Structure 1
Amino acid sequence: MSGIITLTSDWKNSDYYIGAIKARIMARFPDTKFVDITHNIESYSISQAAFIVKNAYKEFPKGSIHIIAVYSEPDKNGKILVIQDHEQYFILNDNVSASLIFDTEPQKVVLIETGFGFEGASFTEYSIFSQLALFILKEGDISELGNISKEYKKTPELLPQLESDTINGEVIYIDSFGNAITNIHIDFFNENVADSQFEVLLNSNFYKSKKIHNGYKQVDKGEIVCLFNSIGLLEIAIREGNASQLLSLKRESEIRVKYNL
């Protein structure tokens, strides 16, 4: 067990929640190492939290525990999930987050419906998630926590679509610089566009780019730059500017790539 616990939440930094959950765990395991992935998730944004965790967790060592504290209180008849995959552990509400984090079916998914103070819990992360993390730190078998099942809430992955020499994608994330990250992966782009001429069309064709760059500084200040980022997704940016604001891009904005021009 690595002794590392990550926290991802929409708590910001103005409340007591972060300190309380860390203190409860450290009271039992004082050598626990906490990593705050982010506490700046938009309130209740399951998709934003899933995107960040998906692209961060694989860098952590085996045995790491990831607490995802966004929209965490279970609905009536809802469940909490403890997942084991890639030799790491994930604690989260059954709110479709899991299907957005993992590309394939996780190795083991345990559904928890009762126990651990489940009934009447308002600060779920403190009263339940922390207990589950402590159980894992003690090297307990998560199969003992509930029922192993694949029947948890899922939602289809948002994939780009092909139509008449056009890739129809969309913005799935706006980062802190205002860069717009799309769901168009470099492999999908190369498979279809290959060596043909193309245009990246933004905001109903109002803005266009005809080149994929290798870095932000390959254009002049204030110009649009399109590149494939470190996770292989097409990113729309403006050098030393905010593409989201200046190009009116937001999550679910349409991004099209026309090729074979």
Structure 2
Amino acid sequence: MAIITLTTDFGEKDYFAGAVKGAIYSELDQVRIVDISHSITPFHISEAAYTIKNAYRSFPKGSIHIIGIDSELTPENKHLAVKLDDHYFICANNGILSLLASEINPEKIVEINIHDKIETNFPVLDVFVKVACHLARGGTLEVIGKTVTEIKYLKQYEPTVNSDKKQILGHVIYIDNYGNVITNISRKFFENVRKGRDFTIRARNVSFSEIHEAYSHAINFEVEKDKRREEDGKKLAVFNSAGYIELAIYKSNLKTVGGASTLFGLDYLDTVTINFE
């Protein structure tokens, strides 16, 4: 049975997500629909890119992923269907696939060209659903679009390193539900530049000289609990489950101890630097 996933900024209040599911079931009654998220910040490309990148790999090969973010068709925002890593992605060509295609080359990209057969002001419902159901039936990409070779890349998804290899310049690309701050610096990129050197991570007024493998590794459990000076609310850097450097607060709670984004004063695209000694 085909799997179609949905990642959108529709939220839970409006009818949009429900209408999309209904349209899929009207075309195909034997299909599984999985909601990855409908809580992406409106029009937030990097949130959507980070979310879909770290969710799709858990699905079986051949799964079809509809990404409904900034999907209105314009001369600068064409619609794409992409086969990448044996998965299919349907979205606007607005840079949303940059994070995926920076690591894995797409196997095939087509620019969807069925719009002249469909009247719509809701392309996720009318166009993306048609394409997804066509693929779910075993249809080919060539039928619904013309082959293209490039997608739009957003440079802020890629960290940079200076000429003497002594500094990485990165940015915040995502803030999670706990207020933790995810950078665009992957473990692989960091280790390739580091080469065993000591380092200091800086972001606004906070700094870190260690990156933990798990949140709890920042706590010394050999010390009795009532004698630990810091636990809840302790700041730390960690390689998160997606393989990126994350700046966090241990057991953060936005209603009590706060989160890294608020306590460190960090927001989307803020600068994070790593200096090597």
User: Does the TM-score normalized on the shorter chain lie above 0.5?
Assistant: yes
Q: Residues of 2 paired with 1:86 and 1:149: CA distance?
A: 17
Aligned to 2:262: 245
> Aligned equivalents of 1:98 and 1:212: distance in 2?
28
The 1:201–1:94 alpha-carbon spacing in structure 2 relative to 1, beyond 3 Å, is closer
Cα distance in 2 for partners of 1:15, 1:40 equals 12
User: Paired residue for 1:225?
Assistant: 236
Match of 2:224 in 1: none
| 1:59-80 C-alpha deviation (Å, 9 max, x unpaired) | 2101211000001111147521
- In 1, the alpha carbon distance for the partners of 2:39 and 2:147 equals 32
Distance 1:192 1:91, change over 3 A: closer
Q: Which amino acid aligns with 1:88?
A: H
Q: Is 1:170–1:253's contact at 8 Å kept on the other side of the alignment?
A: yes
Deviations along 1:89-123, one digit per CA (max 9) or x if unpaired, are 111112222333322431111112344644x5211
Amino acid at match of 1:213: H
* CA distance in 1: counterparts of 2:117 and 2:125, whole angstroms: 10
Q: Quote the offset at 1:212 in angstroms.
A: 1.7
Describe the shift of the 1:223–1:130 C-alpha distance in structure 2 as closer, same or farther (beyond 3 A).
Answer: same
Query: 1:107-256 to 2 correspondence within 5 Å?
Result: 107-115=107-115, 117-118=117-118, 120-156=119-155, 157-162=157-162, 165-203=166-204, 206-217=205-216, 218-219=218-219, 220-241=231-252, 242-256=259-273
Answer with 8-17 or 41-50: which moved more.
41-50
Structure 1's 71 and 51: CA in aligned 2 closer, same or farther, altered over 3 A?
same
Q: 1:117 and 1:77 mapped to 2: Cα distance?
A: 20
TM-score between the two structures when normalised by the length of structure 1: 0.90
Bigger shift: residues 161-170 or 224-233: 161-170
Deviations 1:146-199 (A, max 9, x none): 211114433334223236522222211111111111122222322333433322
Distance across 2 between alignment mates of 1:115 and 1:208:
51
Q: Which amino acid aligns with 1:73?
A: E
Distance 1:122 1:185, change over 3 A: same
Q: Structure 2: which amino acid aligns with 1:135? A: H
Does the Cα contact within 8 Å between 1:180 and 1:244 map onto a contact in 2? yes
CA offsets, 1:183-231, max 9 Å, x none?
222223223334333222221xx22222222222223221111111122
Provide the secondary structure at the position in 2 that maps to 1:171.
Answer: strand
1:49 aligns with 2:48: yes
* Paired amino acid for 1:147: K
Runs of 4+ in 1 over 4 A off after TM superposition: none
Identity of aligned residues (%): 34
Gaps of 5+ in 1: none
Supply the distance in 2 between the matched residues of 1:16 and 1:113 (Cα, whole angstroms). Answer: 27
